[in-house]
Amino acid sequence: MKIGYACLTVAVAGTDMKSCIAKNATNENLVAIISNNLKSLQNMLEYNAKNDIKMLRISSDLIPFGSSSINTLNWQDIFKDKLEDIGRYVRDNGLRVSMHPGQYTVLNSVNSQVVKEQLMI
């Protein structure tokens, strides 16, 4: 049987995920947060591989505002090598990963423009 868990490894050092609110989402802060989160993800995956845990749901906080106009970084290119390394590690170790929006993601509003903008992000 392959077991796993969702998002957080509370008792494992070096696996803390960071996030921020919109007003603090400067390019400098986002680079630091994303760097931290990718390193934390790598540490989680290494822990899982060593402990025969084959599944992890990755936190939607991995890339704060990743699909929002708030995040103006070209993070896909900035972190391309690290993301490829993580993908390779997942494949090489037979791990399974998934990701979906957080539980507080809501795509509705009484204002149709808000909904439209959210769907375009």
Q: Which residue has the tokens 């979906």?
A: 100
**pLDDT at position 111, please?**
80
Judge whether residue 22 has pLDDT over 70.
Answer: yes
Residue 98's DSSP bridge partners are: 57
pLDDT tens digits for 99-121?
877 666 666 677 888 777 766 65
How far apart CA 75 and CA 68 sit, in angstroms, is 12
Domain definitions of the chain by residue range: 4-120
pLDDT tens digits for 83-96?
999 999 999 999 99
**pLDDT at position 67, please?**
82
* Multiple choice CATH, 4-120, 3.60.10.10, 3.20.20.150, 3.90.1170.50, 3.10.180.10: 3.20.20.150
Q: What is the pTM of this model?
A: 0.82
Judge whether residue 2 has pLDDT over 90.
Answer: no
